[in-house]
Amino acid sequence: MGDAISSLLFQPPPATFIHPSRHIWLQTSTGSTIPAFYLDQKANVTILFSHGNAEDLGMIYDWFVDLSKVLQVNVMCYDYTGYGKSRGGTGSPSEENVYADVEAAYNYLTSTLNIHPSTIVLYGRSLGSGPSCYIAEKSALSNSPVGGLILQSPLLSAYRVAFNFRFTLPGDKFSNIDRTVNVRSPVFVVHGTQDEVVPFWHGQELFESVGVEWRAKPFWVLGAGHNNIESVLRQTGAFVDHIKEFLNIHIKARTEWKGEKEVLKVKDAVERAMQKQV
């Protein structure tokens, strides 16, 4: 069963090309070297994107170049072990490797670039909902929650997709439903009502599993399937507008308020120091 589930979950496409100058190479805890790219808009908010099971960096680069400019956010994307130009380690994608991959990307943001977790928004599409929920839960349990979580066409768990189960069994993979209950960040769920790969009820139940105080208004895309949400909404721009609204209401406003609060603290400290000198 494990091999069958893995073949369902992971379908790496032929590697697509990104010019080497755009690559960041990350070392994972499982011994892989994976490529990533970082789009720096000098913004206060950074999106960490985890892609679907049949795409790699070259297929999403142009989209995120445009999206980062429209949303005025920094963006980091990475490939999973066994995808794109990744090398080393086991060489094959797996749940364990995917979690190590996203941790390498997240640690690059927080440790190398010194980006605070509260300004990072995790964004996972389809399979990418797994690593995104993993980091969202882990950051919450370590009392340093990320700024937000966007889940597009997410799965409750692998077995629930493959066998239509409504509960978690031993050996299940990417059991997001068991992680979202611990998330302490605003969560925005997007799902097509006619999704033929990950049924619509996955998005609904995942939304309902999130604590009430962390639920952003979901976006149920009428008539959309699993892979065409962006194209269905391209003419109206509604998809990007909803993401922008989520960021403005739940992330950017809070980030700017925290920044202003820190500035006031510094000013207050300076004034107190000057008063002591007098």
Question: Which region among 3-7, 8-12, 125-129, 247-251 has the lowest average model confidence (pLDDT)?
Answer: 3-7
> Where residue 172 falls among pLDDT bands split at 50, 70, 90?
confident
State the pLDDT at residue 263. Answer: 37
Nearest CA-CA partner of 130 in 170, 89, 169, 94: 94
Q: Kindly state the percentage of the chain with pLDDT values over 90.
A: 74
State the pLDDT at residue 255. Answer: 63
Q: Per-residue pLDDT averaged across 133-147, rounded?
A: 98
Tell me which fold the domain 2-277 belongs to.
Answer: Rossmann fold (3.40.50)
Q: Kindly state the percentage of the chain with pLDDT values over 70.
A: 88
Identify whether 195 is a catalytic site residue: yes
pTM of the model: 0.89
State the pLDDT at residue 278. Answer: 41
Is-contact 102 138, C-beta < 8 A? no
State the pLDDT at residue 275. Answer: 55
The one catalytic residue in 68, 94, 126, 139 is 126
- The model's pLDDT over 233-273, given as tens digits with 9 standing for 90+, comes to 877 789 999 999 999 998 876 665 454 444 344 345 445 54
Residues in CB range of 84: below 8 A, 6 or more apart: 12, 15, 16, 34, 35, 56, 57, 58
Is-contact 47 53, C-beta < 8 A? no
Q: Per-residue pLDDT averaged across 77-83, rounded?
A: 97
Identify whether 226 is a catalytic site residue: yes
**Distance between CA atoms of 65 and 30, rounded to whole angstroms?**
29
Q: Per-residue pLDDT averaged across 127-137, rounded?
A: 99
The one catalytic residue in 195, 202, 242, 250 is 195
Is-contact 26 104, C-beta < 8 A? yes
In terms of average pLDDT, the best of 2-16, 157-171, 221-235 is 221-235
CA distances from 42 to 3, 69, 149, 157 (A): 43, 11, 21, 36
